[in-house]
């Protein structure tokens, strides 16, 4: 009975986390103008696209007689064919994303989940299919998928640092990877190279805590990874600052170069910055307009 009670308590705790995450994402998505998605082409659809002159092979019923009556030529009314694309998300759920330098502040993981879910809301409500990389949640449309994504984003992974999942990556899909990208760089290289080989293009979005950028530590300090597997003690933390900032800059340049080679966008965000500005940038980057 004790195990049942423990399981129920954990389930209730997880369920209690879902509404706040969804509410934050809904509010954030509501601040960004919902853009039109899809590839603009002539074809079957509901929205008017353009008129074009009649061409050989067009049947009489294709002619728009009202528009044609305004000139000496005959015209065909074309509708816009919106092809819903698949967008694959990977949000790092490793312990490193739980870090927050501010007491009761927003962790990297919290900001990553809210941004990714807000992006998903915008995409799904504009008719596109959104899912997770891997096989756990394939791309789908509809409000039900938003709830499924919310539940999946509350899962936590083991190990200190996360690695993108690229199984079942759909050819020519778009993708969004959100992480601190502090882990094994070879794994990130393999993931993006595999995605690019399948024609997948997308965005690598690096989320960092302000302290990870500034390294404000002085004197004696003990640094421990969020997963607890790595520990380093020093009496002069300020002596590490220059080397740390150089290593962080090197990792950022590696990510930029990798994205450049694979045709992806690279962006960075600090948890102390505006989530609205971050979402707007992500929305534009996924549309290829950033």
Residue 266 has pLDDT above 50, yes or no: yes
Assess if residue 87 is contained within a domain.
Answer: yes
Are 175 and 62 in a shared domain? no
Give me the phi and psi of 16, to 5 degrees please. Answer: -70, -25
Assess if residue 5 is contained within a domain.
Answer: no
Assess if residue 6 is contained within a domain.
Answer: no
CA distance 132 to 89: 5
Beta strand 40-42 with 265-270 is unpaired
Are 237 and 95 in a shared domain? yes
Are 184 and 124 in a shared domain? yes
The residues that bridge with 258 in the sheet, in sequence order, are none
- State which residues form the domain around 70: 48-79
User: Checking phi first, is residue 89 left (phi over 0); if not, alpha (psi -120 to 50) or beta?
Assistant: beta
CA distance 45 to 94: 43
Assess if residue 213 is contained within a domain.
Answer: yes
Residue 58 has pLDDT above 60, yes or no: yes
Task: Give the tens place of pLDDT for each residue, 83-129.
Answer: 457 999 999 999 999 999 988 889 999 999 999 999 999 998 888 89
- Of the two residues 221 and 10, the one the predictor is more confident about is 221
Assess if residue 3 is contained within a domain.
Answer: no
Are 138 and 282 in a shared domain? yes
What are the DSSP calls for 47-89, one per residue? Answer: SEEEEEE--TT--GGGB-HHHHTTSSS-EEEEEEEE-PPEEEE
DSSP 238: G
* Count of structural domains within the chain: 2
The token pair that represents 175 in the structure block: 């993708």
Alpha helical stretches, state H, the chain: 2-30, 65-68, 108-124, 143-153, 185-197, 210-214, 241-262, 275-286
Are 73 and 158 in a shared domain? no
CA distance 186 to 163: 10
Assess if residue 2 is contained within a domain.
Answer: no
Are 198 and 63 in a shared domain? no
Task: Give the tens place of pLDDT for each residue, 12-22.
Answer: 565 566 568 88
Residue 44 has pLDDT above 80, yes or no: no
Assess if residue 10 is contained within a domain.
Answer: no
Q: Please enumerate in sequence order all residues whose Cβ is within 8 A of that of 159, keeping only pairs 6 or more positions apart, or say none.
A: 94, 95, 227
Report the CATH number that the domain containing residue 163 is assigned in CATH.
3.40.50
> Which 3 state secondary structure label does DSSP give 41?
strand
- Answer yes or no: are the C-beta atoms of 161 and 94 closer than 8 Å: yes
Average pLDDT, the chain: 83
CA distance 151 to 120: 13
Query: Measuring CA to CA, which residue among 97, 127, 129 is closest to residue 115?
Result: 97
Assess if residue 275 is contained within a domain.
Answer: yes
Of 27-36, 113-122, 205-214, the range with the lowest mean pLDDT is 27-36
175-202 burial, b at 16+ Cβ within 10 Å, e below that, comes to: bbbbbbbbbeeeebbebbeebbeeebbb
Q: Please enumerate in sequence order all residues whose Cβ is within 8 A of that of 219, keeping only pairs 6 or more positions apart, or say none.
A: 235, 236, 237, 238
Task: Give the tens place of pLDDT for each residue, 141-199.
Answer: 888 999 999 999 988 887 889 999 888 888 889 999 999 999 999 999 999 999 999 99
Residue 40 has pLDDT above 50, yes or no: no
Are 59 and 195 in a shared domain? no
């Amino acid at each position: 009975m004790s195990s049942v009670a423990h399981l129920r308590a954990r389930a209730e705790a997880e369920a209690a986390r879902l509404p706040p995450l969804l509410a934050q994402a809904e509010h954030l998505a509501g601040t960004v103008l919902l853009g039109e998605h899809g590839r603009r082409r002539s074809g079957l659809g509901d929205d008017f696209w353009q008129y074009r002159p009649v061409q050989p092979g067009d049947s009489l019923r294709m002619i728009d007689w009202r528009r044609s009556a305004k000139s000496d030529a005959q015209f065909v009314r074309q509708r816009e064919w919106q092809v819903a694309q698949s967008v694959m998300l990977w949000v790092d759920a490793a312990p490193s994303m739980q870090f927050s330098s501010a007491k009761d502040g927003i962790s990297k993981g919290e900001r990553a989940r809210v941004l990714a879910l807000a992006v998903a809301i915008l995409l799904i409500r504009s008719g596109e299919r959104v899912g997770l990389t891997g096989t756990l949640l394939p791309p789908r449309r509809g409000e039900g998928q938003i709830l499924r994504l919310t539940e999946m984003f509350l899962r936590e992974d083991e190990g200190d640092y996360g690695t993108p999942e690229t199984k079942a990556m759909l050819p020519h899909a778009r993708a969004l990877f959100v992480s601190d990208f502090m882990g094994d760089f070879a794994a990130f290289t393999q993931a993006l190279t595999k995605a690019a080989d399948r024609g997948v293009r997308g965005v690598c979005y690096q989320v960092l805590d302000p302290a990870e950028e500034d390294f404000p530590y002085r004197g004696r300090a003990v640094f421990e990874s969020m997963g607890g597997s790595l520990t380093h003690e020093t009496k002069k933390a300020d002596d590490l600052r220059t080397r740390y900032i150089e290593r962080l800059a090197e990792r950022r340049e590696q990510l930029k170069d990798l994205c450049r080679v694979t045709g992806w966008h690279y962006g960075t965000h600090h948890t102390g910055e505006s989530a609205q500005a971050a979402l707007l940038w992500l929305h534009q980057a996924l549309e290829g307009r950033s």
